[in-house]
Structures are given as C-alpha cells and as structure tokens.
Amino acid sequence: MEIWHNPRCSKSRAAKAALDEAGVEYTERRYLDEPPTAEELDAVLTRIGAEPWDVARLNEPVAKELGLKDLEHDRARWIEVMVANPVLIQRPIVLTGGEAVVARDPDSVKKALDSR
C-alpha cells in the first residue's frame, strides 16, 4: 500500500492518520517532492478509473496561469502538465494491490482499506 501525500493538506493528513489507525503498512510518497512520472500517473489514473481532468486541482494558482480549465481534453497533454506541476494532482491518493483511490473522505479511505 502506498499513499501519495502532502503533509500540509488536512485531507491528506486525515487519510494518513486513518491508515495509521488501521495498523496497515504503507509507503508514504510526498508527491510534491517526488513527482510521479507520466507513466506512473497514467497507470494510477487507469486504476482510479479517471481521466486527469477528473482529478486536477483546478483552483490552484498554477492551474489558472496555465488556463487548465480551457485546455483541450487530451489525456497525454494533461498528464504532462500535471507531472510538471504536481500540485495540480488531487490528494491524497491511496494505492493498494490493484486499485487506487482519491481518499479525500472517510468512505474513500475505507474503500482503499477494504480493497487490500
């Protein structure tokens, strides 16, 4: 199990605390310090069952600077932009054996824990 985590984010801290409380072993990836590659992000999006624009943080200042809301829905281009600007990736993301979940609420964290 792995969590893509930003320690400054309250939802990310809550998901990490829930994993700790459940007593599961996991790897913490501070994705702002260690951004995913395009291949990793593509694979995670596939596991989530989402497109990059579904998990983009469109209210981030860099999203506005890049005009992300108006960017054509081209999966490869969006992944490229998100990898170059990892702050745009929704957090936290919990990866289990074959599934990945954007774990922004207790139900999503529970789903990730149940899918181990």
For residue 65, what are the CA distances in angstroms to 3, 52, 62, 93?
28, 18, 5, 25
Active-site residue 9, yes or no?
A: yes
The β-bridge relationship of strands 93-95 and 2-5 is: antiparallel
Contact 28, 16 (CB under 8 A): yes
Name residue, tokens 């990945």: 100
- Given 4, 5, 6, 9, which residue is catalytic? 9
Residues labelled as active-site residues: 9
